[in-house]
A = this chain, B = another copy of it.
Amino acid sequence: MQKKIPEEKLQALRNTGISEFASKGLDGANINVIARKAGVSVGTIYNYFGTKENFFTACLEQAMKDLETALMEASAGDVPLLTRADRLIRAVQAYSRENIEVIRLYNEITSSSGNKMAGSLARKIESISSSAYKKTIREAARKGEIRSDVNVEYLAFFFDNLLTTLQFSYACPYYKERLKIYCGEEGLKDDDLMRKNLLAFMDAAFDPKGRTKK
């Protein structure tokens, strides 16, 4: 007897939220404005999400779901590590271009110093991609595609660090500028060049016959 799932409505609401939170930040965004932009009343947002913070988290999770899916797909299949890395970088590049706001939102929480949620959000968001990356690296290690003198966990960590920074570099103002400082406008525009370089970097770093391997 309950009303039909207003799931699509919620989706739309969250999408408006993503957009606002991504551009203004958690503090900067205004719930009343979000409501107006979403074509609903403030009350509705509060009926659904209870608090601004809750609503923010809900937006974030919706945003992250897509990103995760994209990354999961890219890291699926039984392919050589390099191929997988190539796919991942491509996915990151494509996604960052098309979903600037999601990346910005992600970047947003990444720096919520004054925020109690930082810890729990990290656990919620990072655990998924981290386990995927770890698995990927571990399998590659089993196949002998990877040097054995570096800890699998740390490799996955560095790997993620490089991908994450790349994402931010395509979507977030500060990182964007930083990328330009390092690589010029080209760094921002020439995706192939970036990918080629990053792949080479990673490949060498993983190389079982690499220098530090004695």
Residue ranges of A at the interface with B (Cβ–Cβ < 8 Å): 22-25, 27-28, 104, 107-115, 118-119, 121-123, 126-127, 130, 134, 147, 149-151, 153-158, 160-162, 164-166, 168, 172-179, 181-184, 187, 193-194, 197-207, 209-213
Contact = CB atoms under 8 A, between A and B. Distances in A.
Identical copies of this chain, number: 4
Tell me the interface secondary structure of chain A in the complex.
helix
A210 B176 CA distance: 29
13 contacts: A104-B113, A119-B176, A126-B181, A151-B183, A153-B184, A155-B197, A156-B182, A161-B166, A203-B211, A204-B204, A204-B206, A205-B205, A207-B210
A177 B119 contact: yes
A177 B197 CA distance: 29
